[in-house]
Amino acid sequence: SASFQPSELAKPVLILFLAYFAARRATAINNKYTLMPAAMIVGLVAGAVMVADIGTAVVLTATAAAVFLVAGLHWRYAAAAGVILFLSLGVAISSKPYRIARIFGFFDSQYASLDSPVVRHFDPEGKWKAWFMRAAPTRNSDYHIRQSLIAVGSGGPIGVGPMHSKQKLFYLPESHTDFIYAVIAEELGLWGCLLVAGGFLIIFWRGLRIYFHAPDDFGRYVALGVTVMILVQALMNISVVLGMVPTKGIPLPMISYGGSSLLSTLASLGMLQSVGDHSA
| pLDDT, tens digit (0-9, with 9 covering 90-100), for 146-155 | 888 899 999 8
For residue 193, the 8-state DSSP code is H
Query: How many CB atoms lie under 10 A from the CB of residue 97?
Result: 15
What percentage of the chain's residues is helix, strand, coil (to nearest 5)?
70, 0, 30
CA 140 to chain centre: 23
Cβ partners under 8 Å of residue 151, min gap 6:
165, 167, 168, 172, 179, 182, 183, 185, 186
Query: How many CB atoms lie under 10 A from the CB of residue 89?
Result: 16
Where residue 55 falls (left for φ over 0; alpha for ψ -120 to 50; beta otherwise) is alpha
Q: Is the pLDDT of residue 1 over 50?
A: no
pLDDT confidence of residue 16 = 94
Burial annotation 203-214 (CB, 10 A radius, 16+ → b, else e): beebbeebbeeb
Are the C-beta atoms of residues 110 and 141 closer than 8 Å to each other? no
With H, G, I as helix, E, B as strand and everything else as coil, classify residue 164. coil
Higher-pLDDT residue of 5, 72 = 72
Higher-pLDDT residue of 280, 228 = 228
With H, G, I as helix, E, B as strand and everything else as coil, classify residue 64. helix
Rounded Cα–Cα distance for residues 206 and 203 (Å):
5
Q: What percent of the chain has pLDDT over 90?
A: 31
Interior CA angle at 140 toward 136 and 145, to 5°?
A: 125
Q: Is the pLDDT of residue 180 over 60?
A: yes
Q: Is the pLDDT of residue 137 over 70?
A: no
Rounded Cα–Cα distance for residues 84 and 228 (Å):
21
| Average pLDDT of the segment spanning 132-145 | 58
pTM attached to this predicted model = 0.81
Are the C-beta atoms of residues 179 and 235 closer than 8 Å to each other? no
pLDDT confidence of residue 51 = 61
Higher-pLDDT residue of 83, 121 = 83
| pLDDT, tens digit (0-9, with 9 covering 90-100), for 185-196 | 999 999 999 999
Higher-pLDDT residue of 98, 11 = 11
| pLDDT, tens digit (0-9, with 9 covering 90-100), for 79-114 | 887 787 778 777 777 666 666 666 666 665 444 455
Residue ranges covered by each domain of the chain: 6-95+173-277, 106-138
pLDDT confidence of residue 86 = 77
Rounded Cα–Cα distance for residues 135 and 131 (Å):
8
pLDDT confidence of residue 248 = 77
Rounded Cα–Cα distance for residues 48 and 217 (Å):
29
